Structures are given as structure tokens and as C-alpha cells.
Structure 1
Amino acid sequence: MNFTKRSFYIFAVIILTIAADQISKVIVRANVIGRTASQPSERIPIIGDYFTLMNVENTGAFLGMGSDLNPALRIVFLLVLPILVLGLVLRHILKDKSLDNWSLFAFASIIGGGVANVYDRIVYGSVTDFLFIDLGGVFRTGIFNLADMSVSAGMIILLFVSFTQKKKA
């Protein structure tokens, strides 16, 4: 493979996404008391009760989905399938030279976030989630991490790019 500026850009976004996520998780694991069977996670207010930091180990996927699957299915759906999809997406963005920089950034962010969470599942058996937003009942999230934010931001950017390209056509 010819390593171009474009390839460098893709891998830089992926690596920076993984690094930011993993560094944030190391800090949270070391400094925030995690949830146990008998005790809830420590809640540290960042912006009052609206934005809080906690430490929750998620054995499933998004919002804990899949955590109750049997071990074989969890390996397939939470490790094997994501690795295959992330690999195919990476192959696609490296080969498709027609993608604009925003789409490359979005796909690379999705890949970086996905790899970071898959890494956690392989190394720790769970994914460390630690951010929570509650705007007083108006808007409330599940507990998430920087990898989740990268995947979500990437999806939003892809939707935005898709809509703007359809308008131009």
C-alpha cells in the first residue's frame, strides 16, 4: 500500500481517537471508585448534576445491550463481528479515493472508537464508561465514554455529509 498524506490522515485520526479514549479510561479507573455489586459508582459532578463523571464497567455494547447473552454469542456479537466490520470499513476508506475529508474523518472516528472499545473487551472483559448527562428530565443519556462519543460524532458527520451531498445533486 502506498502510504500517502490521505492514509496518514486516516491513521492519525484513528490512533488519536484510540489514545484519547484509552488515556481517559486509565485516569477514570485510577481515580473514580467504580460500581460494585453492593455499591453504586462514585458520582463526581463536572457541571452540577447535569454532567457527571462515574466509573461503570459495561460487559455489553451500547447501553449494556448484549450483556446477558451467553459467552459464545457475546464473543461473536461484541468481538468478532465488530472487528470484521471495522476492518471492512477501514479497507473501504483506504480504497475509495472519492471520499471527502469530512467523510474520512467520520469513518476514521468510528473505526478509532470501535477499536478502542473492542480493545477494552479483549483486555478487561468489559468497557469502562464514565460520562453521564442529565438535563433535568429534558434530556438524559446512558453512561458513555470518549470512544462512544467518537462513534456517535462520526455517524452524525456522515449523516450531515450525506444530506448536503444529496442537496447538491
Structure 2
Amino acid sequence: MRQRKRIVLALFTILLCVGFDQITKGIAAEHLSRGRELSFAGDVIRFSYSENEGAVFSFEYYLPEKWHGEIAGAASALLVGAIVAFLLFGPGLRPLPALALSLFCGGSVSNLLDRMVFGGNVVDFIIVTWGGFRSWTFNVADAAIVSGLTLLIPSIIWRMLRSGQRGGRGGDPPAESRKMT
């Protein structure tokens, strides 16, 4: 994928994720009073307002106490910044991994904005249920992060399989098949 197209894809996806996430969080905060749930699609989708203090799916709670807050936020910001720099200026990426990393970064940036700029807590409001399954409460940013990672895994596997078929070095034939001249 050409660098200009990759930059446009990355910036558009990141801005779309941040914008849509922030708008939906604002609507949830304004229209869902605490304790009130709305149910749709036969109770498969529920909207219920909550605030998360501990990173995506409360991941921060699994870290040592001294790493909570600013340290976890700074580490997350550094990681996301490095991925964004790679997306914008790194070597060529195929469209699927570029989209996957852009979704991951868009969701991460939006949640980081909530934590580091807008007061510390992230608004979560979506719950998915199916039979006995009940998801964590999440938001659009969390969905973008998980979607990005879900898209990235098959693209990595596909790349590894294709690389292995070509001799393991991005298209170079295996050494034993090269003719000596």
C-alpha cells in the first residue's frame, strides 16, 4: 500500500473511531441515568451507563497498584504513539494490517483522551448477551481495539504462511533452489 493512501486510511480511521466513540459516550452520559438499562434485539444488546477507571475491560486492575493511573496511561500513550508513527512513516503495510492497527490506535486514543484529558474515567455503556454469555460493559473505542486486534491476527498468520511458501524471506526463493553461476 502506498504511503499516502496508508496515511489517509490511518488518519481517517483513527479520527472516525475517536469521533464516533466520543459522541456515543456523550449520548450515553446524557441519556442513560445510572442504574437504567435499555434493552434491544430481544435483550441481546443492552445499554447501561457505567464508568471504567482501569483501562480496556478493566485491564489496569490486573497490574500492580503502583502502575495504575499515570504510569499505565503514559505507557499506553507511548505504545500507541509508536504504532501511529509506524503507520504513518514505517515501511509499507498491506491494507488489512494498516486498517487493523488504525482501529486499535483509534480506540486507544479515544480512551486515552478520556483518561488523560477529560477527567480520568471512561464511559462504558454497551453490554452484549447471548444465552448464558454476558460481555463486559464496553464502548465503541473498546470495540475498535478488539476489532483491530482480531483483524491483525489473521493478517499476521497469512503473512507468515505466504512468507513460508516463498522461502521465509518475503519472496526470496529458498537458498537450495537458487542456481550457482
TM bracket, shorter-chain basis: 0.7 to 0.9
Which of 152, 160, 163 matches 2:157?
163
**Alpha-carbon contact 1:106-1:158 (below 8 Å) kept:** yes
User: How many Å separate the matches in 2 of 1:83 and 1:119?
Assistant: 10
Q: Which residue of 2 aligns with 1:27?
A: 27
User: How many Å separate the matches in 1 of 2:79 and 2:157?
Assistant: 24
* Residue 73 of structure 1: how far off its partner (Å): 3.2
After TM superposition, list the pairs within 5 Å mapping 1:9-158 onto structure 2.
9-34=9-34, 41-67=35-61, 73-77=68-72, 79-122=73-116, 123-137=118-132, 139-158=133-152
* Larger CA Rg, structure 1 vs 2: 2
Q: Which residue of 1 aligns with 2:7?
A: 7
**Alpha-carbon contact 2:25-2:123 (below 8 Å) kept:** yes
- Partner of 1:98, secondary structure, is coil
Q: Unpaired segments of 5 or more residues in structure 1? A: 35-40
Q: Could you tell me the TM-score, scaled by structure 2's length?
A: 0.80
User: How many Å separate the matches in 2 of 1:11 and 1:63?
Assistant: 25
User: How many Å separate the matches in 1 of 2:155 and 2:65?
Assistant: 38
User: How many Å separate the matches in 2 of 1:130 and 1:124?
Assistant: 17
**Alpha-carbon contact 1:67-1:74 (below 8 Å) kept:** no
User: How many Å separate the matches in 1 of 2:103 and 2:65?
Assistant: 30
Q: Could you tell me the TM-score, scaled by structure 1's length?
A: 0.86
After superposition, what is the alpha-carbon deviation per residue over 1:77-132, rounded to whole angstroms, capped at 9, x for unaligned?
A: 1x101110000111112222321011111111111100100111121320000100
Q: Quick one: which amino acid aligns to residue 148 of structure 2?
A: G
Q: Quick one: which amino acid aligns to residue 77 of structure 2?
A: I
Q: Percent identity?
A: 25
User: How many Å separate the matches in 2 of 1:73 and 1:121?
Assistant: 12
User: How many Å separate the matches in 1 of 2:48 and 2:126?
Assistant: 6
Q: Residues 48 and 125 (structure 1 numbering): CA distance in 2 closer, same or farther, change over 3 Å?
A: same
Q: Residues 134 and 8 (structure 1 numbering): CA distance in 2 closer, same or farther, change over 3 Å?
A: same
Aligned-residue RMSD, C-alpha: 1.9
User: How many Å separate the matches in 1 of 2:120 and 2:85?
Assistant: 27
Q: Unpaired segments of 5 or more residues in structure 2? A: 164-181
Q: Which residue of 1 aligns with 2:171?
A: none
Q: Quick one: which amino acid aligns to residue 8 of structure 1?
A: V
* Residue 72 of structure 1: how far off its partner (Å): 6.7
